Amino acid sequence: MGVLKGHSYSSYRTALGLGLLLVAVAFAGPARAQDASDDALLAKSLTDESFGNDSAEEGNSAVVPQTDAEIRDGYTLNAAEPSQIPAFAAPKLPSLTGYGYAVVRQKIGKTGGAKIVIGSLLNEPGFRPLTSNASVGLAEFSRRQGNGVRAIYVDSGVATLKDLAQSVPAEDFAETQPGVFIARLPILVRHGAVLELTGSVKELRLSTERGAVLVVEGQVNAVDSAIIGWSEAAAAPAKLAEPATFRPFIVCWGGAQFNAARMRFANLGYPATKAYGLTFSHYSDVQLQARIWPRPMAAVTESTIEGLWYGVYAWKADKLVINANKIRNNQIYGVNIHDRSTGVILANNEVTGTRVKYGIFVANDVVGSWIFGNKVSGNKRSGIVLDRRSQKAVVSGNVSAKNGADGIVVSESTDVLVWDNVLSGNQNHGIRLRNSTGARIQDNVSLANGLTGLYGAVVDTRTARNRGTVAATGSKRLEMTVVGGAYTSNGAGPFGLDYPTRVAYYNVDLRTPQRALGFRLGGTLLPLQITFLDILMAQSKVAVLQAKK
């Protein structure tokens, strides 16, 4: 597929040495030569209160350093033969040929038979989760409409925006200038119905003052256009208010198919459930529709997603494909994949400038995610985060650089492959693992990060803010295998560990230390450093560190 071309580990291997050291210094600034300075930097990642309330960056202050005697009494460090490392076969990344602009274009053009009506939104399954939400609610829609709680329904057939403009009064939906449409009521595309946006549509503006939203149960096919939140009072895109109040949003429920290519989604969403901006969510479990309709499916490609509360949000979504988009300057997350979503593909996106938290965040029993070929940079906190029982994920061929915390985080998750990524210039660690098992860290380049290249810890998350017991988030175990890769010029050394269960390292490249005095490993590895480096570098064997209890 070629998605790894240009930034794979193999392509970086030949660049190591003097040239790589110069790049590292440019990223990291002046060398830190004193051990005390290294310790202070590492401690920062364990106590920083600005991390936010996600469990991936909580509970770190629970790490209490072990004494040298405790480490020597509590762990064994042995050399193992390389044959004991399970053989690695690169996974076959999913094909993206079934998605993209040409595919969506082929779905468009079969218009006709559209039935469009205006009716009450009361007791409507597509609106019920919104009207029962205290943050949105009937009162919000009623106040903004001024004369009831109504919506525009695409009941059946295939409709264009011109069809809507011809079917409902201009005060509710109108073409204000060629190709520019304004919706002044919520729009619902029912099951079996289709709404199309093509290049003849410059913008669909959703009126903030009138409480317009786009709700999808059927199908939307959209290319070469834009959907934006709009303030009619300001005659400008809708800005986030302080404190945050209503902004238009898009939400796709069970049964929905949302296909978008070369679109622009902007100025949408605010902090209310399912109102985050561009949302793909199954119906609430208490709704009958949740048992009737399959989970929502979507493909958003080659589009721009900017200025949303969450750039993309998913809850119990299946086969969601977010590919080759520019996801930038969104408020809380760039991408947030949540609660029991499956088979999600996040590929080849540029995720930048998230203002509060993470570029890509995957959490809560999400299974089988593919995260590859993304460039994630300049986000307020970490670049890519897998949290709270994310399972069987592949994180491959990404560049995560210059983020405000870590490059890649894996916390309370199992069977995750972190393969062939480049982590550079992140404020804290290149890769950080917590309370996770079955992790394989293979052939990554972790370069010039502020703290370690790779850090792992077991943490008692019961002390974390807004979290419950350890059982609710994961076991207190850390088991990982680190094979290949380069851990170069990181501020607090290549590796750090605290309270691991079992870890194995093999064939790692540790050239160009940041410290003038050479390498200094952190935490559990520090008193065992001489033996550890001898096994890895002199004997060329596998260094296996295991807790005795």
pLDDT (0 to 100) of residue 133: 64
Residue 428: name the closest of 457, 407, 459, 400 by CA. Answer: 407
pLDDT (0 to 100) of residue 129: 82
Rounded Cα gap, residues 316 and 370, in angstroms: 16
pLDDT (0 to 100) of residue 336: 97
How many CA atoms within 13 Å lie on the side-chain side of 271?
A: 8
pLDDT (0 to 100) of residue 29: 34
β-pairing, 345-347 with 320-323?
parallel
Model pTM score? 0.89
pLDDT (0 to 100) of residue 11: 46
pLDDT (0 to 100) of residue 53: 42
Residue 303: name the closest of 257, 261, 359 by CA. Answer: 261
Contact yes or no for 275/136 (Cβ under 8 A)? yes
Contact yes or no for 470/517 (Cβ under 8 A)? no
pLDDT (0 to 100) of residue 135: 54
Of the options 3.40.47.10, 2.60.40.420, 2.160.20.10, 3.40.50.300, the CATH number for the domain spanning 110-347: 2.160.20.10
Output phi, psi for 46, to 5 deg.
-95, -10
Q: Which two tokens stand for residue 120?
A: 């009450």
Rounded Cα gap, residues 337 and 395, in angstroms: 14
Residue 305: name the closest of 247, 270, 353 by CA. Answer: 353
Grouping H, G, I as helix, E, B as strand and the rest as coil, residue 392 is coil
pLDDT (0 to 100) of residue 488: 93
pLDDT (0 to 100) of residue 199: 86
Count other C-beta atoms under 10 Å from residue 162's C-beta.
14
Rounded Cα gap, residues 316 and 209, in angstroms: 31
Mean pLDDT by 10 residues, the chain (549 residues): 39 40 35 37 35 48 82 96 94 94 91 91 86 69 84 96 96 97 97 94 97 96 98 96 88 95 97 93 83 90 98 93 98 95 96 98 94 98 96 97 98 96 98 96 97 94 51 73 96 94 96 72 95 96 96
Q: Is 338 a catalytic residue?
A: yes
- Can you list the positions of beta strands (E) in 293-436? 297-301, 304-306, 310-315, 320-323, 326-328, 333-338, 345-347, 350-352, 360-363, 370-372, 375-377, 384-387, 394-396, 399-401, 408-411, 417-419, 422-424, 431-434
Contact yes or no for 442/417 (Cβ under 8 A)? yes
Rounded Cα gap, residues 352 and 334, in angstroms: 8
Contact yes or no for 236/199 (Cβ under 8 A)? no
Of 7, 191, 282, 338, catalytic: 338
